[in-house]
Structure 1
Amino acid sequence: MTIQEAQKMVDDWIHQYGVRYFSELTNMACLTEEVGELARVMARTYGDQSFKKGEKPNIGEEMADVLWVLMCLANQTGVDLTEELRKSFEKKTSRDKDRHRNNDKLTAK
């Protein structure tokens, strides 16, 4: 599925099952909450923390939750994430095409 198709699927789901979108501000808070949940799993999987009893390493699920809410916000604000991602690639390529290759912190081993 493309990003555009995923945005449409989220919109269809919201209108079929979710009644309506939460407000943009509520969804921004939800996005922050989902990023925090992803951070918690990352800290337990790759950091020094351990999982609490009953917790599981569900990194993909948490990433999908972040993406879901981000797509809700994009739909609400009229943002075409496919186009914005394309523009981001162009910007990063133009700005950073040599920067990372010339970064001793990345190339030194």
Structure 2
Amino acid sequence: MELEDHQRWLVDFYKKRNWYNFSPEIRMNFLTEEVGELARAIRTFEIGRDHPGEEKKTRTEKFDNLKEELADVIDQVLILCEKYGIDPKKILEFSEKKLTNRFRN
């Protein structure tokens, strides 16, 4: 799947659910929430969790949850890109250029 295809699908999905209408400020709160969930997924995968209210998960289940939370973070970033009219591929190019220029020897 291409990034643009997923972004188009995602925006359409969010619009159908009336989730797209939230402002970038509110969307940033959603992104922060998803980053927190990703942090928990990474912690659980790497060192585990000993919480009496949670069922024990297999390593595969923990890894699947980590992938799910990474996807949620990416989705929020893609929605923010759409809100600001930014092509996600341009952000990737910008990142490479910035890092290459910053760390030239």
What range is the shorter-chain TM-score in?
0.7 to 0.9
Gaps of 5+ in 1: 99-109
Is it true that 1:13 corresponds to 2:20 in the alignment?
no
Query: What is the aligned partner in structure 2 of residue 93 from structure 1?
Result: 100
Gaps of 5+ in 2: none
- Match 2:91 to one of 81, 84, 87: 84
| TM-score computed with the length of structure 2 as normaliser | 0.78
**Amino acid of the structure 2 residue aligned with 1:19:** N
Count of residue pairs brought into register by the alignment:
96
Q: Distance in 2 between matches of 1:55 and 1:31?
A: 27
| TM-score computed with the length of structure 1 as normaliser | 0.75
Are the structure 2 counterparts of residues 25 and 4 from structure 1 closer, same or farther at C-alpha, using a change threshold of 3 Å? same
1:11-49 per-position Cα deviation (integer Å, ceiling 9, x unaligned): 12122x2225122111100000000001011112213x4
1:52-95 per-position Cα deviation (integer Å, ceiling 9, x unaligned): 32364110000001111111111111111111111211221222
Determine what percentage of the aligned residue pairs are the same residue: 33
